[in-house]
């Protein structure tokens, strides 16, 4: 894949099984984009600010329920940082709580997706996310 068109995806999730499901889904769907991993919001911010996730075309897939700094806290920090505030974030979580949905949407997430059960559903979901973002023009 042309590096200029590569979409660097940062998966922020502390659940080992869910991370493995996303990785398997990427492999099964043959998604060509680099997948970077962070286990909480603190680690994700450090990776974004420190250049471990290259600047340019980036997308964050964010779980909400994590230790150290949860997803909503991460979103507050991200949106307060002038260099990161416009970064697109898609919530990928098990939380179907309306309060979480409202909080995330007030922090300008690009989408709120519930984690599916089963690998086939994960593959379909990740392929759909990739189709939508791979063709989107990002600043």
Domain ranges, residue 82: 3-134
Give residue-wise pLDDT tens across range 22-38. Answer: 999 889 888 888 999 99
Q: Is 6's pLDDT higher than 80?
A: no
How many angstroms separate the Cα of 80 from the Cα of each of 2, 12, 23, 32?
Answer: 31, 18, 30, 31
Express each pLDDT in 51-60 by its tens digit.
999 988 899 9
Residue 84 forms part of a structural domain = yes
Output phi, psi for 68, to 5 deg.
Answer: 70, -65
- Assess if residue 51 is contained within a domain: yes
Is residue 90 one of the residues assigned to a domain? Answer: yes
In a domain, 139, yes or no: no
- The overall pTM is greater than 0.95: no
Query: At 59, which CATH number?
Result: 3.40.50.2300
Domains in the chain, number: 1
């Amino acid at each position: 894949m042309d590096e200029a068109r590569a979409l660097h995806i940062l998966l922020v999730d502390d659940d080992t099984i869910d991370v493995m499901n996303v990785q398997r889904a990427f492999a099964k769907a043959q998604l060509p984009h680099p997948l970077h991993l962070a286990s909480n919001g603190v680690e994700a911010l450090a990776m974004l600010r420190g250049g471990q996730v290259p600047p340019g075309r980036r997308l964050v897939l964010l779980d909400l329920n994590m230790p150290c700094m949860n997803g909503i806290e991460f979103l507050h920090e991200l949106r307060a940082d002038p260099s990161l505030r416009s970064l697109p974030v898609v919530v990928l979580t098990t939380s179907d709580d309306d309060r979480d949905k409202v909080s995330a949407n007030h922090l300008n997430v690009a989408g709120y997706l519930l984690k599916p059960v089963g690998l086939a559903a994960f593959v379909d979901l990740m392929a759909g996310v990739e189709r939508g973002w791979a063709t989107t023009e990002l600043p």
